[in-house]
Amino acid sequence: MFDTMKLKVLFAVLLVLLPGCIEEGADTSSTSDLDFVPMFNGTYSNVTLNIFQGENLQNATGTYSITIMLNHTAAPVHADNMLKHIVAGNYNMSTFHRIIDDFMIQGGDFENHDGSGGYAADWYGYCGGQSSSNQSDCQQTSWTIPDEADNGLKHFPCVISMAKTSQINTGGSQFFLIPDDIEHHHWLDGVHTVFGHITEGCEHVTTISQFLTGENNDRPVSPVVLYSATVN
């Protein structure tokens, strides 16, 4: 029988993270066809997320640093998008608005800090999940990025993956980190795009995933703030 925690995780995945299947006529164009100027031309880049728990850094109950190696070969658009958000300072003072023990911690909504906002850092040829050749017809807040979920990277412990809506190609700025105390989240493979792995501080992801949340939601009772993100 499933225990309560497994049921909670499965329910959360079905409601929020898992997108629908690709329907007939859906956009399946390759990211290799996209025309964008990458910020980084190598295979891997490294970024660090600096986090505190509490109302402010001065009175924080805990501080944590997590270093991530982004994979620009397997997920060129996702890695580039993350780098550009960081360089622009978009993630600074954003929150991890959603945490689920034995599953993941999710952040990156620099607009509304509640999971309802965020958009791509650059124009990658997609507007609200639809392929578009006309950037001028798309408001910046509707910029999204194409899925790269078929890149062979899996949802094992200590990876970073892209959060999105239930529709394809709707990633923008939100991401989730998987802790080190779980097994393979295989049901996410081929659906969400893994675009890097944690090289330092994965134990902090596990710690944060165990923070107390509200009774009827996955929002941490005490704020978990990404106060700075840097390119190493």
| Alpha carbon distance 193, 199 (integer Å) | 18
Q: With contact defined as beta carbons under 8 Å apart, do 140 and 50 qualify?
A: no
Instruction: Looking at the structure, give the CATH architecture of the domain made up of residues 43-231.
Output: Beta Barrel (2.40)
| CA 123 to each of CA 84, 127, 140: distance values in angstroms, whole numbers, following the listed order | 11, 9, 8
| Alpha carbon distance 160, 33 (integer Å) | 24
* 152 phi and psi angles, rounded to 5 deg: 90, -10
pLDDT digits (tens, 9 = 90+) for 135-186: 999 999 999 999 999 999 999 999 999 999 999 999 999 999 999 999 899 9
| Alpha carbon distance 130, 180 (integer Å) | 35
Give 198's DSSP letter.
E
pLDDT digits (tens, 9 = 90+) for 4-28: 444 444 444 443 443 333 233 334 3
> Percentage of the chain surpassing pLDDT 90?
82
User: Looking at the DSSP assignment, which residues form a beta bridge with residue 160?
Assistant: 177, 196
As a whole number, the mean pLDDT across the chain is 89
Instruction: For residue 125, count CB atoms less than 10 angstroms from its CB and return exposed for 0-12, middle for 13-18, buried for 19 or more.
Output: buried
Q: Domain extents for the chain?
A: 43-231
Q: What is the reported pLDDT for 31?
A: 60
Q: What is the reported pLDDT for 9?
A: 44
Enter the pTM of the model.
Answer: 0.87
